[in-house]
Chains A and B, each alone.
Chain A
Amino acid sequence: MLLIHCPYCKDDRPELEFSNAGEAHIVRPTNMSDISDTEFEAMFFMRDNPKGIALERWRHAHGCGRFFNVARNTVSDKFLKVYKAGEPRPSDAEIEELLK
């Protein structure tokens, strides 16, 4: 079982307390009825699904209940960086660095 660090509780907790909430930094348009089918498809269905660093949302469901973001290596499953919701997406250079 994975140990996951919650940035709000500031503690490592067992994976069982968390739920994965999918790819992070997907912006939901505010003008949903105006966007094209292709734009909707890209936002709603298309996913990076990377073999390497994934940026994803997790929720401390059986804890503080809050959402946060992580950078995780999908080959080793290691959590490399945990950051709060609303904080900026790590730059490509930072992701390169995490992969090392």
Chain B
Amino acid sequence: MKKFNVFSLARETMRGHTGWGKQWRNPEPKKQYDVIIVGAGGHGLGTAYYLAREHGIKNIAVLEKGWLGGGNTGRNTTIIRSNYLYDESAGLFDHSLKLWETLSQELNYNVMFSQRGVMMLAHNVHDVQSAQRHINANRLNGVDNEWLTPQQAKEYCPPLNISKDSRYPVMGAALQRRGGVARHDAVAWGYARQASDMGVDIIQNCEVTGINRAPSGEVTGVETTKGTIGAKQVGVVASGHTSILMEMAGVRMPLESFPLQALVSEPVKPIFPCVTMSNAVHAYISQSDKGELVIGGGTDSYVSYSQTGSMHMLQEVLDSIIELYPIFNRLKMLRTWGGVVDVTPDRSPILGKTPVKGLYVNCGWGTGGFKATPGSANVFAHTIAKDEPHKINAGFNLDRFRTGRLIDEAAAAAVAH
């Protein structure tokens, strides 16, 4: 693997960038691995990376039915923050945020992490109380979050309309300055490049069609479109398709898969300096380095694997965006797309062991798992390597739906990103 640094850049500049080479290998699967990861999104590739780097397990295959990073990792609006209400969530998401802060250096790959701040608007008394409760809870957990008056919010985000007679009056905002955005593809590519270099086989166009188990119950490997592949440990990291994969091992999941859409505008000069979200009207917005405004909202209301979603969802998002930022009302929208997100009843992820020996699951990130990519991958690798959860993800077990020990961010936020 060729390191990216000022010298390699200079050398390649001199010879017309002809010597960079492939960033990862494209091998055929072996018959047997120590660990198989199903799904080459950021979480799956990251898991393989941390297994190899931190736990010395290098005989790993990551199996991907499409191309790596082509799932929700490559479809999301890249908002990163850690200001969740409950202790467990603050622990997990802030672990992730801290890893983001050094990820480009660690991977020797620019993931373009930009801590431009994530501001969440409050439009009514309930929003104000809920935001302030979050701020207090976050601070007790060592997570930064601060209250802004409408004027301060406008200073932080000049396109914001704070006039009193606007349809969604701004009564204040909660700002997490350490929050921001990153380049989604680069995260998948950066992990893939390092993992491949340490010997991890990333096998694309290889769909898992069955999970094999011994008569005594434990996992023995998987069936794929490229044949049978053996492994004593299998980690399912397949976002919207998790229910289907887990059913192959006879495990029912508390998940529903919904379409979630996003859209971008035509590119314009820098105008939007931060990320702004509004939970009450379900609209969030930031500006990409290419200049497009990146806009998203809530999920469609019904289960679907179509990767599209309904037109009226986009219209509702844009209605809200134009009320909040009237300056954008003549802007043209360039592209829309959808992903399939796996949602749990409490809107918190599931990452841990399963009732089947040797089978692990990392799912339920719903509308907001991009921000968790490094943290999730890091503790999931620990869970597989040690066959027990890290203390950071111990609470995010599958058992909680039986014991009732939910991590109810659904009730806390009514929406999650």
Q: Which residues of A approach B to under 8 Å, CB–CB?
A: 1-2, 15-16, 19-20, 22, 37-38, 40-42, 44-51, 54, 56, 72, 74-77
Query: Of all chain B residues, which has the CB nearest A51?
Result: B305
Q: Can you list 30 A-B contacts with CB-CB less than 8 angstroms, sorted by A residue number?
A: A1-B311, A1-B312, A15-B312, A20-B301, A20-B302, A41-B254, A41-B401, A42-B252, A44-B345, A45-B254, A45-B345, A46-B401, A47-B243, A47-B254, A48-B243, A49-B244, A49-B253, A49-B257, A51-B244, A51-B305, A56-B302, A56-B303, A74-B306, A75-B304, A75-B306, A76-B306, A77-B302, A77-B304, A77-B306, A77-B308
Q: Are A47 and B301 in contact (CB under 8 A)?
A: no
* B403 at interface by CB-CB < 8 Å: yes
Cα A44 to Cα B402 in complex, Å, equals 10
B 301-354 contacts with A by CB, 8 A: 301-306, 308, 310-312, 345
With A49-B244, A77-B308 already in contact, 15 other A-B pairs whose C-beta atoms are closer than 8 Å: A16-B312, A22-B256, A38-B402, A44-B401, A45-B401, A47-B243, A49-B257, A50-B243, A51-B241, A51-B305, A74-B303, A75-B304, A75-B305, A77-B302, A77-B306
Say yes or no: B312 contacts A47, CB within 8 Å: no
CA distance A36 to B257 in the complex (A): 27
Q: Nearest chain-A residue to B406 (Cβ)?
A: A45
**Which of A22, A38, A41, A72 has the most C-beta atoms of chain B within 10 angstroms of its own C-beta?**
A41
> Of A16, A42, A47, which is within 8 A of B256 by CB?
A47
Q: Does the CB pair A74–B301 fall under 8 Å?
A: no
Distance between Cα atoms of A49 and B366 in the complex (Å): 14
- How far apart are the CA atoms of A46 and B256 in the complex, in Å? 9
Residue of B nearest to A15 (CB): B310
Q: Which of the residues B303, B305, B402 comes within 8 Å of A41, measured between beta carbons? A: B402
The count of A-to-B residue pairs whose CB atoms sit within 8 angstroms is: 65
Which residues of the other chain, A, contact B244 by a CB distance below 8 angstroms? 49, 51
State which of A15, A42, A74 has its C-beta within 8 Å of the C-beta of B304: A74
How close is B252's CB to chain A, nearest CB, in angstroms?
5
Say whether B305 contacts A47, CB under 8 Å: no
Bound CA span A22–B302, Å: 7
A19 in complex: contacting residue of B301, B401, B402, CB < 8 Å:
B301
Cβ of B241: which chain A residues have Cβ within 8 Å of it? Answer: 51
Cα distance A56–B257 in the bound complex, in angstroms:
14
Q: Which residues of B contact A51 (CB under 8 A)?
A: 241, 244, 257, 305
